[in-house]
Structure 1
Amino acid sequence: MSEVIASTTSGQFRGVRRESSLYFGGIPYARAARFQRPEPAEPHIGIRDATAPGTVFPQPPSRLERVMGPPVPEPEQSEDSFTVTVTTPSLTGRRPVMVWLHGGGYSSGGGALPWYDGDALSTEGDVVVVSVNYRVGVLGYLLLDGVSEGNLGVHDQIAAIEWIRTNIDAFGGDPDSITLFGQSAGAHSIVNLLSSNASLTGIRRVILHSSPRLDINFSHSTAVQNGKAFARILGSDPNTAPLADVLEAFRGTAIEFGKRSGNVVQPPFAPVSEVAPLPEESGTFTDAPDAIIGYTHDEGSAFLRVALDPSRDEEEALTQNMFADTAVELADTFATAGASVYTYRFDWTPGENTFGATHCIDLPFVLGSQKSWQGSPMLGDAEWSTVEELGRQIRQLWISFAHNGSPDGGKSWKTYTPENPIGITFA
């Protein structure tokens, strides 16, 4: 592997040349003090090393670790994780850009995680892949008078997209041909961004994996209630409290909110409607980019199937109400706004597996590598060659969509209609 240098408005970065792609990790797109809006990253002098993955924002362990397994290697955490990871075939040219927003229930995750390595997509599809870190949990979505205005994680996402728009040509990308793609909270984030008053010039297409119900955005009153509960549990100034205390109070707030709401999916801190830059109701727009929208067959098992086997009716109801109905609602909204919409359901399940086609099981087929997903419980006893075979097919569809707006040229994947709610099934 040899070094390669990219020059951006933030300064020069030293990346690493892989077998078929160039990799840059931990590139700053912004900076911010705790509970403050992001500001542009301060340019540095000289060449900054970007040959290794960056840190992720402070967070508790993922509640879906029993399904996905832990990230390997486990990344360091830092409040200064306003970074993107870039994978590109070349620093010259103008190729489509695919920007990944990770999931994690607005409580965990990070674009720097090895799960979201974009090497396969970039290498196979001649695209630039960018994954984004944004603040999660209480650091990203606390609404508390005098402390945090709320929706800071949304502002982070907007700042990252603006940085990408300005600098992606330095990595061989076309700033006027951006596809946003994300899973779970990442997909939900994309809908929020499209509904906001933010300028999203250059966003041509979106791919939404398993977006949850749009109404997981909090009302202002509920967000205020959760913020006050956090402050009471913390018992000190959130701006100066030790990070460990902040995270412990976050955990306590989650427990209290779960008991109060009875909701097994909803996090205690999430985007807030009617707080800048979000409107009163998300998922409402008059102009929409073309979209791929889908979900997995057994989404609900990730949240309900723990030690005891719950009622399959409960799991199916959660899958239907939280994800399947949302996919149709979004498809209708995008189509009504004039977009070409392609829908899918992911049904693939390994032979020995306790979760079925669960929430997140589609991720290894798009991003990451055998090393990063090795031992993941949701993949059961599946050989990586089996994952790779279907994964290559899916990645080619995503790549074709990013290049020209059609996954397969209309050969077998027809656009969405109410009479044809699932355009293609992956099994």
Structure 2
Amino acid sequence: MLQLINLTKALTLLLSIQFAASAPLCLSNILEVGTTSGTLRGIINGTTPDVRQFLGVPFAQAPLGDLRWMPPVALPSESSSRYIDASKFSMSCSQYESTIPSVYNKFVREFFIQGPSSEDCLTLSIWAPARGSHKLLPVFIYIYGGGLQTGGSSVPYQDPAQWIQRTQSHIVVSIQYRLNIFGFPNAKGLDSQNLGYLDQRAAIEWLQVNIAAFGGDPYKMVLWGQSAGALSTDVQNFAFPHDPIVSGFICDSAAAESPVNSDDFSQSNFTFVAEHFNCSGDSMLPCMRNISSTDIIAFLASYQDSEVSPALSFVAIPDEVVVFSNYTQRMIDGQFSTAPAIFGSNENDGVSLVSLPADPYTMGPNMTAAEDTLLDIIFCPDMTTADHRTKAGRTTFRYQYQGNFTNISPLFWMGAYHSSELPMIFGTSGDFRGPATEFEKATSRKMQDLWLAFANDPLHGVEKLNWPNVTSGYVNAFGGADETARLISAATLDAPCLKRMMPPNARSP
């Protein structure tokens, strides 16, 4: 039966590719696209007139009622006959914005979602060229960050329309997945805990079948994520080693080895929340499924922001199926996909992830804490991942973003902080706090073009543009030293991590 399902899927995929390749000009002139979810009616706006947008497209059933805290369920086959208005974003997945002051909620709010959130959120949004093409185009499948707590497709800084308007040679898809207690419940009685990651996989599978209808090449799809999205991207690499679907991975500022998984093996966090709503014992899950998501989120927001004890955490937990407890050993054993990958981080990744200083206009953050955060959670895991991948024979590239542009980094100490590379790649760096400088624009184009070269040819594309893989001993640095891109020594860059890995008595002063 499994072989028959796979054969049917392959034939469907082949037919969709042949149809899309035979009628590219027709695809570019219409805003109605047939998919397994239904016939979509997209939009073209006046700002980017050469970009078609299909927003809020459902890829799975709404995880409501009995489907709350269950793996994503495919849409019924009769869905393909319905009509869907894809002219606006759906609601983002249930979440709340912390009131604890941070760089993001005080100074760069463009990294937050626009609009309300809801459980009915398993959608993706597609941006594709409006001009005709006689070949199928590479596709970026983007997974947003936000600590597995926040994020969505409607983030202003992560709108790819201007990038596609410029190149007319690729497609970008943003997928939404369940977050916090709804995506990573870690509750007693559930067979699957890492539901947000399963949502991501369901969206990738939907795209494999449907992306050709938009002019995209299902054999040239690259999974790309930032922060928790980068963690998610690498998790998919390990969770589906023999069938990743995608042809490459890009991980901005995190890796599967980043030490951010839950250690709540007693599953006390979910029980604590359930008891607040008088749900316990064998009826805990059915009881909690009857509590409104609004009430659950309101409790989490109030409790978390009060910073009382015990602290609650709803993130991924090792289950040895989707999330693993020892990624180092899995790399040594070659238990991950053979697809090429890019791993990178930002020079000042840690400064926006620690406490905001009392007077951020005149004071910087605690730099010791910022450096520890950068090295322990982001940079050193990226470095060791690249090393293990190379030893396992996987093609790997590394980068560091060093840009410091005042319209993206408005405080004097921010520099290349966590997430600041995203406006450069998406092409939105000049949308807020003043226009981009010419050097900023040039750096943005350089990064965009290298990302696109990787999507077109993950094995050799960026090498043709002078970005060697990690076996060369070099890392590609963007936006620093008045150069859009330059090669820097990996040994010099990695020195702080290598020092941390030495026994204390072997470290030089």
Q: Same fold (TM over 0.5)?
A: yes
1:22 is matched with: 52
For residue 315 of structure 1, the aligned residue among 363, 370, 373 is 370
Distance in 2 (alpha carbons) for counterparts of 1:96 and 1:389:
23
User: Are 1:142 and 1:148, in contact at CA under 8 Å, matched by a contact in 2?
Assistant: no
Q: Render the CA deviation track for 1:175-204: whole Å, top value 9, x for unaligned.
A: 111100010000000111111147644311
After TM superposition, the structure 1 stretch with the greater mean CA deviation from structure 2, 349-358 or 17-26, is: 349-358
Alignment of 1:98-177 (within 5 A): 98-123=140-165, 124=167, 126-146=169-189, 149-177=192-220
CA 1:348 to 1:70, structure 2 compared with 1: closer, same or farther past 3 Å? closer
Measure how far apart 1:3 and its partner are.
Answer: 5.6
The one-letter code sitting in structure 2 at the alignment partner of 1:214 is: S
The one-letter code sitting in structure 2 at the alignment partner of 1:84 is: L
2:495 is matched with: none
Instruction: Give the number of aligned pairs.
Output: 414
2:85 is matched with: 49
The one-letter code sitting in structure 2 at the alignment partner of 1:165 is: Q
CA 1:13 to 1:385, structure 2 compared with 1: closer, same or farther past 3 Å? farther
CA 1:359 to 1:23, structure 2 compared with 1: closer, same or farther past 3 Å? same
Measure how far apart 1:110 and its partner are.
Answer: 0.8
1:356 is matched with: 415
For residue 221 of structure 1, the aligned residue among 265, 273, 279 is 265
User: Are 1:84 and 1:131, in contact at CA under 8 Å, matched by a contact in 2?
Assistant: yes
User: Are 2:51 and 2:127, in contact at CA under 8 Å, matched by a contact in 1?
Assistant: yes
Alignment of 1:68-87 (within 5 A): 68-70=108-110, 74-87=114-127
Distance in 2 (alpha carbons) for counterparts of 1:384 and 1:234:
53
- Please identify the structure whose Cα radius of gyration is greater: 2
For residue 396 of structure 1, the aligned residue among 427, 449, 452 is 449
1:8 is matched with: 35
For residue 179 of structure 1, the aligned residue among 211, 222, 244 is 222
For residue 61 of structure 1, the aligned residue among 88, 93, 97 is 97
1:416 is matched with: 470
Q: Render the CA deviation track for 1:343-372: whole Å, top value 9, x for unaligned.
A: 11111113552422110111101126368x
Q: Render the CA deviation track for 1:71-117: whole Å, top value 9, x for unaligned.
A: 58822312111111111125864211110000000000012333322
User: Are 2:404 and 2:479, in contact at CA under 8 Å, matched by a contact in 1?
Assistant: no
Q: Which has the higher contact order (CA 8 A, sep 6+)?
A: 1
Distance in 2 (alpha carbons) for counterparts of 1:86 and 1:323:
29
Measure how far apart 1:413 and its partner are.
Answer: 1.8
The one-letter code sitting in structure 2 at the alignment partner of 1:400 is: A
The one-letter code sitting in structure 1 at the alignment partner of 2:142 is: W
Aligned pair 1:327/2:382, yes or no?
Answer: yes
Distance in 1 (alpha carbons) for counterparts of 2:218 and 2:347:
35
Local SS of the residue matching 2:206 = helix
Measure how far apart 1:411 and its partner are.
Answer: 4.6
Distance in 2 (alpha carbons) for counterparts of 1:78 and 1:244:
8
Local SS of the residue matching 1:289 = coil
| TM superposition score normalised by structure 2 | 0.74
Q: CA RMSD in A?
A: 2.8
The one-letter code sitting in structure 2 at the alignment partner of 1:207 is: I
1:374 is matched with: 432
2:233 is matched with: 190
1:264 is matched with: none
Distance in 1 (alpha carbons) for counterparts of 2:379 and 2:439:
26
Local SS of the residue matching 1:170 = helix
After TM superposition, the structure 1 stretch with the greater mean CA deviation from structure 2, 81-90 or 303-312, is: 303-312
Distance in 2 (alpha carbons) for counterparts of 1:268 and 1:253:
11
1:378 is matched with: none
Distance in 2 (alpha carbons) for counterparts of 1:134 and 1:251:
19
1:38 is matched with: 72
CA 1:258 to 1:202, structure 2 compared with 1: closer, same or farther past 3 Å? farther
CA 1:398 to 1:411, structure 2 compared with 1: closer, same or farther past 3 Å? closer
| TM superposition score normalised by structure 1 | 0.87
CA 1:230 to 1:336, structure 2 compared with 1: closer, same or farther past 3 Å? farther
Distance in 1 (alpha carbons) for counterparts of 2:343 and 2:115:
30
Distance in 2 (alpha carbons) for counterparts of 1:281 and 1:420:
26
CA 1:385 to 1:245, structure 2 compared with 1: closer, same or farther past 3 Å? farther
Local SS of the residue matching 1:268 = coil
Distance in 2 (alpha carbons) for counterparts of 1:247 and 1:185:
20
For residue 250 of structure 1, the aligned residue among 300, 324, 330 is 300
2:347 is matched with: 297
2:23 is matched with: none
Distance in 1 (alpha carbons) for counterparts of 2:243 and 2:157:
26
Distance in 1 (alpha carbons) for counterparts of 2:476 and 2:178:
34
Measure how far apart 1:255 and its partner are.
Answer: 5.7
The one-letter code sitting in structure 1 at the alignment partner of 2:31 is: V
Local SS of the residue matching 1:111 = coil
Measure how far apart 1:44 and its partner are.
Answer: 5.1
Local SS of the residue matching 2:249 = strand
List alignment gaps of at least 5 residues for structure 1.
262-266, 376-380
Distance in 2 (alpha carbons) for counterparts of 1:125 and 1:345:
27
CA 1:153 to 1:258, structure 2 compared with 1: closer, same or farther past 3 Å? farther
Q: Render the CA deviation track for 1:293-313: whole Å, top value 9, x for unaligned.
A: 110111111122413333322
CA 1:30 to 1:258, structure 2 compared with 1: closer, same or farther past 3 Å? farther
Distance in 1 (alpha carbons) for counterparts of 2:136 and 2:34:
16
User: Are 1:71 and 1:115, in contact at CA under 8 Å, matched by a contact in 2?
Assistant: yes
Distance in 1 (alpha carbons) for counterparts of 2:143 and 2:302:
27
Measure how far apart 1:319 and its partner are.
Answer: 1.1
Q: Render the CA deviation track for 1:139-173: whole Å, top value 9, x for unaligned.
A: 11011124684111011001101101111111111
Measure how far apart 1:412 and its partner are.
Answer: 3.1
List alignment gaps of at least 5 residues for structure 2.
1-27, 280-286, 359-363, 481-509
Distance in 2 (alpha carbons) for counterparts of 1:257 and 1:142:
20
User: Are 1:234 and 1:245, in contact at CA under 8 Å, matched by a contact in 2?
Assistant: no
After TM superposition, the structure 1 stretch with the greater mean CA deviation from structure 2, 108-117 or 296-305, is: 108-117
After TM superposition, the structure 1 stretch with the greater mean CA deviation from structure 2, 212-221 or 285-294, is: 212-221
2:324 is matched with: 279
